[in-house]
């Protein structure tokens, strides 16, 4: 299993529409580690780590998000693996 780490910034109407809860649910279902939080700019930021195929699946799904979201852009960049605990958390 090849693991990767990505920092992701999602823009559009992504705050106040349960995007963080949706991202945590999907990441957990895919067996990923990391966190998601709202940014003061109105974006949602996520650190996603795990199996390469699962990370890529979540990144693809992030373009849709939950039903009330209207995603304009998903920007991701590779980062060093850094999360040592399991699970996917919502940061406040």
> What does the domain layout of the chain look like in residue ranges?
3-84
CA separation for the pair 38, 86 (Å, rounded): 21
pLDDT, one tens digit per residue, over 21-74 is: 999 999 999 999 999 999 999 999 999 999 999 999 999 999 999 999 999 999
The interaxial angle of helices 19-29 and 52-61, nearest 10 deg, is 150
Active site residues: 20, 38
- The yes/no answer on whether domain 3-84 falls in CATH 3.30.70.100 is yes
CA separation for the pair 52, 71 (Å, rounded): 23
- pLDDT average, residue stretch 1-8: 92
Instruction: Say if CB 82 and CB 48 are below 8 A apart.
Output: no
pTM (2 d.p.): 0.94
């Amino acid at each position: 299993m090849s693991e990767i780490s990505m920092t992701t910034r999602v823009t559009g109407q992504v705050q106040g529409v349960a995007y963080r809860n949706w991202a945590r649910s999907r990441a957990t279902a895919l067996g990923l580690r990391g966190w998601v939080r709202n940014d003061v700019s109105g974006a949602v930021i996520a650190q996603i780590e795990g199996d390469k195929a699962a990370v890529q699946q979540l990144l693809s799904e992030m373009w849709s998000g939950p039903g009330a979201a209207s995603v304009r852009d998903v920007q991701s960049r590779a980062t060093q693996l850094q999360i040592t605990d399991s699970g996917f958390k919502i940061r406040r």
